[in-house]
Amino acid sequence: MFLAILAGAYFATERAYAAHRVDDYQREILISSRLLRQYVHACDRQQYDNFMPFVAHSVTAYQRNVEKLPGAPFFFENEFVEQHYYFADKYESDLKSVKARIELCN
């Protein structure tokens, strides 16, 4: 009985942590992308070159975490998962447009 309770508590903790981790990456991407866009808008190539790897890593890590959401072991609701899939695609698209825009500064 104790093991069942412990397993249930562990599952609930891991599920909450997975959702929290995905939400944290989303906030991180929103903030860092805004700063990156400002660097690109100002054609600040040095700041862009310094900051771009961080933003790209955040987007990739977010996508990896989103891929873990559907199905076992977490069984998140479809709406939650689909929303994060949408944002993962949006962030990837935004990153590509930022990369293209910095090339116009040269």
The amino acid present at 76, given as its one-letter code, is F
pLDDT at 93: 96
Q: Are residues 74 and 15 in contact, defined by beta-carbon separation less than 8 angstroms?
A: yes
Q: Where are the domains of the chain?
A: 2-103
* 34-64 confidence digits (pLDDT tens): 999 999 999 998 999 999 999 999 999 999 9
Record the pTM.
0.82
Rounded CA gap, 29 and 12, in Å? 26
Rounded CA gap, 63 and 45, in Å? 26
Would you state the structure tokens that stand for residue 35, as one six-digit string? 């700063």
- Residue 84's CB: how many other CB atoms inside 10 A? 23
Helix (H, G, I), strand (E, B) or coil at 6: helix
DSSP assigned state of 1: -
* 5-34 confidence digits (pLDDT tens): 765 666 666 777 778 888 899 999 999 999
Rounded CA gap, 40 and 70, in Å? 35
User: Where does residue 55 rank: exposed (0-12), middle (13-18), buried (19+ CB within 10 A)?
Assistant: buried
pLDDT at 57: 95
